[in-house]
A and B are shown apart, each in its own frame.
Chain A
Amino acid sequence: MRASATSGDDAHLTAPWVDIKRFAVHDGPGIRTTLFLQGCTLRCPWCHNPETYEAKPRLAYAAHRCLHCGECVAACPRGCHTMVDGRHAFDRTRCAGCGQCVEPCLGSALRLYGRSITVAEAVAWLLEDRAFYTASGGGVTLSGGEPLVHADFCRAVLARIRAEGIDTAVDTCGHVPRHAVERVLPCADRFLYDLKAADSGLHSRLTGVDNQRILENLLFIAAAGKPVEVRMILVPDRNMAEADIRKAGELLRGVRTLTGVKLLAYHALARSKFAALGLPDTMPDVPSPDATALRRVADQLRSILPAGALVTF
């Protein structure tokens, strides 16, 4: 039996999440709420959300916020937290991600990523700001990580949101099986589509995988008539040479439902997250591109894309 998009059959589905951002104003039109799900199919070295890599609970410890109050010591059932000479020490190898230490932490230095959320809970949260969506032409965006790792969950959430007359968007890297895209296609009003590099070889060098599947999915979504905003992160010395941009422009010229290209300037502001998560810092040691560099890229893209194409940064 085939379940309808809004049936209660999928209400039990869950997904691990890392954050829910209200008043998200750069994740699609208007004022939106963005739910960030955990789990990603890429490992971009400049990633700003390393807490989304693995789809499983992971404790972050922000040492700069720690008050060394010791409240976590008693709360932890596995002895991960200890006080040594009045200072807090954290042994990540013991941590199972139960999160029992988070609430007692007086400095809010501890945070658990990857708690599980049900479809019903997610929908309830995402509807809280519906008055703002109505006033601003906004809506709900699912992001990550790669949200389509949890395609059934996404479909269930988006279908319910859309049934309320609210705009829905999926922010995807596109590196997912076609059937995952197909699952959400009927329930997503628009896509925000990340493009790291148009050249497959360069993409492979940058992210470890080629972009064949990504480009196919992009064209598939466009062929289905869904509006697509392409988001290009620009990393100096990595993907913003003139030839890289030319190739991207030529590719995007063929995306007939392209609503705009948003250029995102790389910066290393998420570097502290790697430390807090106990992950090796992979962020490129390059400066953030300045306005002049961004303008150059934007102008180059505009010269390639159809007249009037919206390129912003």
Chain B
Amino acid sequence: MFNTFSADRDHFAKKFSAPVFDPATGLDEAGLKARLEAVWAARGNRPHPVVKAELYACVADHVQIDVSPHDWYPGFGCWDRNRRPLMEYTGRWAAELEQAGLLFGESFRRFSEMGASRMWIDFDHSVPQWDDILELGFPGMLKRAELFRSLHKTRGTLTPETEAFFDGIRITLEASLRLIARLRDHARRTADGNPRVLAVAECLDRLLAGPPQTTYEALMFDWLVFFFGEHIDRTQVRSLGNLDRLLYPFFQRDVASGRYTEEQIREFVRYFLMQFAAIANYWGHPFYFGGTRADGSSEINPMSHLILDVFDDLGIMSPKLQIKVSPNTPRDFVDKALDMIRRGHSSIVFCNEPGMMRALIDGGATPDEARTCHISGCYEFGVYGKSNGTGPAHLNLPKLLELVFNDGADPRTGICHAAETRLSDVKSFEDFYAAYLTQVRFTVDRTIEAVNAFERYLHVINPTNVFSATCEYSLNSGRDAFSNGLKYNNTTILCIGIGTAVDALMAVREFVFDRPAVSLAGLKQALADNWAGAEKLRLRIRKSDHKHGNGDAGTDALLVRLANDLGRMINGRPNVRGGFFHASSHPARQFIELGKLTGATPDGRCAGDEFSKNMSPTPGMDRRGPTALIQSVTRVDSRVFPADFCLDLMLIPAAVSGEEGLAAMRGLLETYFSRHGLALNINVFDAAQLERAIEHPEEHEGLQVRVCGWNARFNDMVHPEKLAYVERAKNVSA
């Protein structure tokens, strides 16, 4: 039953790409669609939470299922995230609102075409209250929801809307239990004496009866809640939780009672992690480690090490790991993660626990709420069980510079949906910066209006029955957890390309006003021509030291100024969900996508090139190493970007080799955190990456290599020397 992973690994190659289901277990995709259409047709005037729950129940009752002897966790016919069955119906509700002219206004459309601000309705960032539901199990969740319905009745707050909210949850949870029963029965029917399949059936049977009692049952429960929420209820479950802390009591009980050995638990974890490796979403699926107990001690425990070791052995990229780090975090655990990163197992981000607490308390959270915050998505954080942060808007900071140069008109589309500023009125850098801020303010204001317009209808478009059922706060409020049912219902505006924008502003200051080397009109023409005929100017600008990430005082001061201006424009403005807008420096993929829609910028960037990401520099523009980069970035008070604040460090294997290299990595991490940086990604280049640096030296100006007793810039080396380093990197990773 155990120790079969190498033989089972092929199973995962197909589980989420080409799975085969027994037709006897349910309807195929076409059949399921037809059945859902019938449910939709019969919906009448029933409220959306109820209709959606009935659609959910239809999937739960009829989707094809699989319990494989090669797996510890079941499979489902609705495995394809891009074709989740209920997307069709949430899309229809959105379309109805749009047809009524209620959803997307002029700013939404025009900004989208221009690429000035990209918006969408975000249903991708829910975090269940895992602690509570692991104690309750599915039957307990149902019972709790019904208790709260009674409470609302007693209070006199059971309005028709609240009744519908609880009906939706009840129908959803009852359907979930039926689906678990189907899985159990299928396993029993098809086990044919296979002990693992029978063990799966037993596990499911226990989850039908009550909360999980063992590590395996807890992992199965986590998997089912994830799948039910994300794949059936169409709401991304953006954290699998504080997994080491959550699992440790189960682990202790299992080992103490002899129920499972540590090695067997390792296998359950291995197969659990492989579910997410097999799903293989490009963004990875997160869970987080560590934290601080009320008594000030660390939550890192033997389960933390076990999970990290299993992840390391698997060599997978998803799930991705988030580690809460504070002064109480055991050094050996941090070192283990750092060592994994330098060996290329770098799907790990370090999150600064005191820094996140500082930002959350600044935003109104209590110290206890801040201490127990969750981490979700990439490195977003929020009050656990009481918050839902959406990320529906992406502000293109470099694009707004284009608007200054073109008096508010977007040169690519010709659309003019911007503030009235005139380049001819600009006589100084302060004038230019003021014009830029005017454009930023216009775009932020219109973006907030547009987001408020569609976020008003989140619960109408997609009542998140599974998510709401996990949050006691939502049950108590009687409102949808994703919309306005929690204590903190915040909305994030992601500010894209701040490093590139600052570099571009500095180039205007230096080359137009300080030197001057070119007139504003001349620079405008060079940008319009994508630098054709102005290559020397472009190279001179690129070479300038006034680039973000180099500890340059003037550039850092402008970065701080722009960050503070953005913070003032965004943070604390009310949204329509009873919460507030928050600024973020996180770009997701938009530093690439919006870069494609943006023309040449004054920093020497060519049209269509990507921007800087996170708080990091434009690729190739940091030339003074990681300490200078950290100093530049942390001059910004991370509370200005309370949604998240992340830096990407790039190091090479030779710089981080041996004990002293590990200590150096730790030193960078601790210094960054001591200056309130909130999240840190570390990349250690491997041979393939160095080969790319040879092909694209312009993107790797800051890449340092350790020669012997010193570092050298990779670009300063001649080709054979670079090839020697590639060979070295191959040796390191071997």
Contacts and interface: CB of A to CB of B under 8 A. Distances in A.
Interface of A: 19, 21-27, 29-31, 33-34, 36, 48-49, 62, 64-65, 67, 69, 71, 106-108, 128-129, 131-132, 134-138, 143, 171, 231, 233, 264-265, 267, 269-272, 291, 312
Contact of B625 (A22, A106, A143): A22
B660 interface: yes
Nearest to B658: A312
B706 A31 contact: no
A313 B670 CA distance: 26
A214 B52 CA distance: 83
Given A25-B660, A135-B667, A19 B631 contact: no
B733 to A, nearest CB: 14
A312 B661 CA distance: 13
B579 interface: no
Contacts of A65: 715-716
Contacts of A24: 710-711
Contacts of B630: 132
Contact of A25 (B661, B715, B724, B725): B661
B664 A30 contact: yes
Given A65-B715, A71-B536, A137-B667, 12 more contacts: A21-B711, A22-B624, A26-B660, A30-B667, A67-B539, A69-B539, A128-B551, A132-B630, A136-B663, A143-B709, A231-B709, A271-B718
Interface residues of B, number: 42
B632 to A, nearest CB: 11
Interface string B609-626: 000000000000000111
A267 B724 contact: yes
Contacts, number: 121
Closest 8 A-B residue pairs measured CB to CB?
A: A136-B667, A25-B664, A106-B539, A135-B670, A135-B671, A23-B625, A272-B718, A31-B667
Given A67-B539, A131-B675, A272-B717, A27 B709 contact: yes
B666 interface: yes
A161 to B, nearest CB: 16
Interface of B: 536, 539-540, 543, 551, 624-628, 630-631, 655-656, 658, 660-661, 663-664, 666-668, 670-671, 674-675, 704, 706-711, 715-719, 721, 724-725, 731
Contacts of A27: 709-710
B716 A135 contact: no
A129 B627 contact: yes
A23 B536 contact: no
Contacts of A48: 707-710
A312 B631 CA distance: 31
A269 B707 contact: yes
A10 B375 CA distance: 53
B668 A132 contact: yes
A49 B708 CA distance: 11
B663 A137 contact: yes
A291 B666 CA distance: 26
A148 to B, nearest CB: 16
Contact of B706 (A26, A49, A106, A132): A26
Contacts of A231: 709
Given A48-B707, A67-B539, A171-B709, A136 B664 contact: yes
21 contacts: A21-B710, A21-B711, A25-B655, A29-B660, A30-B660, A31-B668, A31-B671, A48-B710, A65-B715, A69-B539, A107-B539, A108-B715, A128-B628, A131-B671, A136-B668, A143-B709, A171-B709, A264-B708, A264-B709, A267-B708, A271-B721
A19 B661 CA distance: 21
Most buried by B among A30, A129, A137: A129
Contacts of B663: 25, 29-30, 136-137
Contacts of A128: 551, 627-628, 631
Contacts of B655: 23, 25
Contacts of B716: 62, 65
Given A131-B671, A132-B668, A23 B710 contact: no
Contact of B724 (A23, A64, A143, A269): A269
A19 B656 CA distance: 21
Most A CB atoms within 10 A — which of B625, B658, B668, B711? B711
A107 B711 CA distance: 20
A291 B732 CA distance: 11
A36 B711 CA distance: 11
A33 B628 CA distance: 11
Nearest to A27: B709
B654 to A, nearest CB: 9
Contact of B543 (A106, A137, A272): A106
A8 B660 CA distance: 35
A21 B536 CA distance: 29
A29 B36 CA distance: 66
Nearest to A70: B536
B699 to A, nearest CB: 15
Contacts of B631: 128-129, 131
Nearest to B713: A108
B710 A34 contact: yes
A22 B719 contact: no
A78 B339 CA distance: 53
A162 B711 CA distance: 24
Contacts of B718: 62, 64, 271-272
B404 to A, nearest CB: 27
A228 to B, nearest CB: 15
Contacts of A132: 627, 630, 667-668, 671
A33 B656 CA distance: 16
Contacts of A49: 710
A160 B2 CA distance: 64
A264 B731 CA distance: 17
B721 A272 contact: yes
Contacts of A71: 536
Given A131-B675, A136-B670, A22 B627 contact: yes
A106 B539 CA distance: 6
Contacts of B628: 22, 128
A138 B655 CA distance: 15
A312 B707 CA distance: 16
A129 B551 CA distance: 10
Contacts of A271: 718, 721
B668 A131 contact: no
B717 A131 contact: no
Of the candidates B706, B710, B717, the one having the most CB atoms from chain A within 10 angstroms of its own CB is B710
Contact of A270 (B624, B658, B707): B707
A21 B151 CA distance: 66
Nearest to B673: A135
Contacts of A106: 536, 539-540, 543
A231 B709 CA distance: 9
A36 B725 CA distance: 23
Contacts of A62: 716, 718
Nearest to A33: B627
Given A128-B551, A271-B721, A23 B660 contact: no
A136 B660 CA distance: 10
B627 A36 contact: no
Contacts of B731: 291
Nearest to B719: A64
A65 to B, nearest CB: 7
A242 to B, nearest CB: 23
Nearest to A32: B664
A29 B664 CA distance: 9
